[in-house]
Amino acid sequence: MNEVLRIENLSKSFGRKNVLQDFSMSIEKGKVYGLLGKNGEGKTTLIRVIMGVIPPDRGELFYKSQKIKFNDASYKKEIGYIPEESIFLSWMTIKELLNFNASFFPTWNAKKADEYLARFSLEKKTRIKNLSRGMKLKLGLMVALASEPEFLILDDPTSGLDVPTRQDFLKGVIEEILEGGTTILFSSHLVHELEGIIDHLSILHKGRLILDQDFEEVKSSVKRVRLTFDKNIPEKIELEGIITEHKDGAYEELVVYPWNEEKRERLQALRPVSMEVESLTLEEIFVSFVS
C-alpha cells in the first residue's frame, strides 16, 4: 500500500466561518506534495487537524490505512512537523532540547542532529531564549529532520530564513530527505520556491481543493494563449476550460485548462492573425486558478 495519508470529507469551521468544506485528499509514499492557497484559505488549519492539534467538525483521516482519532498520539512518532513559528521551552539549551526529543522518536538520529547543528551554525550550549527567530526556525528544521520521519509536514517553514539557508534547505536538504524515502507535504506562500521541487500540486481555495493533480500533468495541461485579430473580432470566445480572459481591442489572452489539440483547432477556426501558445510557471498557474 503506497498511501501514507487519506483525508475524507473533512470540514472545519470557526464560528460562522467555514474554513474547510468537504475536503478530501490522498497522499502517496515518496512524493513531494505542494499545498498552495492564499493566506486564510485553511492550509494551516488542515495541517493542525492532521497533527491532532485541533479536531475536525466532520470527516475522517487515515494514516497508513489506520483511522486517526483526535488525541491519538501513536502515529505522530513517524511524522515530522515544521511550522512557520516553532515553539520550544525557552529555558532549555539546544543540547537539552535534543535529548528531550530523542526520547519521543524511536528513529532519532543523533549523528544527523550533530551534522545539522554544524550545517546551521547552532551550538549545543546556547539557550533557546537567546536565539533569534531565524535561528529558532533552523532549530525547528534540525529537530524535525533528525527524527528521520516517514512523513514530513512543512507549514511555510522557510519564510524567516536567510537566503543561503533557505536555498540549502530547498535544494539540498529536501533532496536528501527524499533519498531516504520520506513523503513530504509542503505548504508555502512563496509559490515560486516550490517550482522544481514538488511532484504533485494541490490548490486550496475557499476551503475546497480546486486542483489536485500530478504537477507535470498540470504544466502540460495549462496553457496561455495569445490571439491577435485583424478583422472579424469575436465578441466572445466560447471555449470550455477558460480560467482567465483578458481582452484589449483586437488582442485577447486566455489561460485554458485542460488544453488539447481540439481546442487549438477551434481557436484557429476563428481566423486570428496570430496565435501563440505557451506554458506557465507554477506561480502563474496558481494565480490563474485563484484569481
Do 148 and 198 have their domain in common?
Answer: yes
Give the pLDDT score at 114: 93
Residue 208 φ then ψ, to 5°: -130, 155
* Rg from Cα positions in the chain: 22
Q: What is the pTM of this model?
A: 0.88
Q: Where a domain ends, among 214, 238, 264? A: 214
What is the C-alpha separation between 76 and 68, in angstroms, rounded?
Answer: 10
Please give the pLDDT value at position 160: 67
Say if residue 274 is in the same domain as residue 177.
no
Q: Are residues 194 and 229 in the same domain?
A: no
Q: In this structure, are residues 188 and 194 in contact, taking their beta carbons and an 8 Å threshold?
A: yes
Question: What is the Cα–Cα distance from 138 to 189, expressed in whole angstroms?
Answer: 19
Query: How would you classify residue 136: left for phi > 0, otherwise alpha for psi between -120 and 50, otherwise beta?
Result: alpha
pLDDT of the residue at 110: 93
Do 143 and 196 fall within a single domain?
yes
- Given 147, 181, 214, the domain boundary residue is 214
Listed residues 172, 188, 214: the one ending a domain: 214
Q: Are 158 and 170 spatial neighbours (Cβ–Cβ below 8 Å)?
A: yes
Considering the domain architecture, whether residues 148 and 253 belong to the same structural domain is answered as no
Identify which of 188, 190, 181 has the alpha carbon closest to the alpha carbon of residue 202: 188
Do both 198 and 246 map to the same domain?
no
- pLDDT 10s digits, 156-213: 877 667 777 777 777 777 777 777 788 999 998 778 878 888 999 999 998 899 999 9
Share above pLDDT 90 across residues of the chain, in percent, rounded to a whole number: 60
Cβ atoms within 10 A of the Cβ of 9, count?
A: 13
Query: Would you report the helix, strand and coil content of the chain in percent, each value rounded to 5?
Result: 30, 30, 35
Over residues 124-130, mean pLDDT: 94
Q: Is residue 289 pLDDT above 70, yes or no? A: yes
Give me the chain's average pLDDT, please: 90
What CATH number should be reported for the domain holding residue 265? 3.30.70
Regarding whether 242 and 110 lie in a shared domain, the answer is: no
* Residue 178, pLDDT score: 78
Q: Are residues 229 and 110 in the same domain?
A: no
Residues 189 and 248 both lie in one domain: no
Q: In what order do the strands lie in the sheet with 66-67?
A: 17-28, 3-14, 58-63, 66-67
The domain of 87 spans: 3-214
pLDDT single digits (tens) 247-284: 998 999 999 999 999 999 999 999 999 999 999 999 99
29 and 156 inside one domain: yes
253: its cell numbers: 489572452
In terms of Cα–Cα distance, which of 288, 163, 172 is closest to 223?
A: 288
pLDDT at 166: 74
**What are the pLDDT digits (tens) for 204-247?**
998 899 999 999 999 999 999 999 999 788 888 999 999 999 99
DSSP state, residue 68: P
Residue 97, domain CATH: 3.40.50.300
- pLDDT value, residue 173: 75
57 and 164 together in one domain = yes
When divided into structural domains, the chain yields a total of 2
Pair 129, 249 in one domain: no
How much is the average pLDDT of 105-116?
A: 90
**Three-state SS sequence of 131-187:** CCHHHHHHHHHHHHHHCCCCEEEEECCCCCCCHHHHHHHHHHHHHHHHHCCCEEEEE
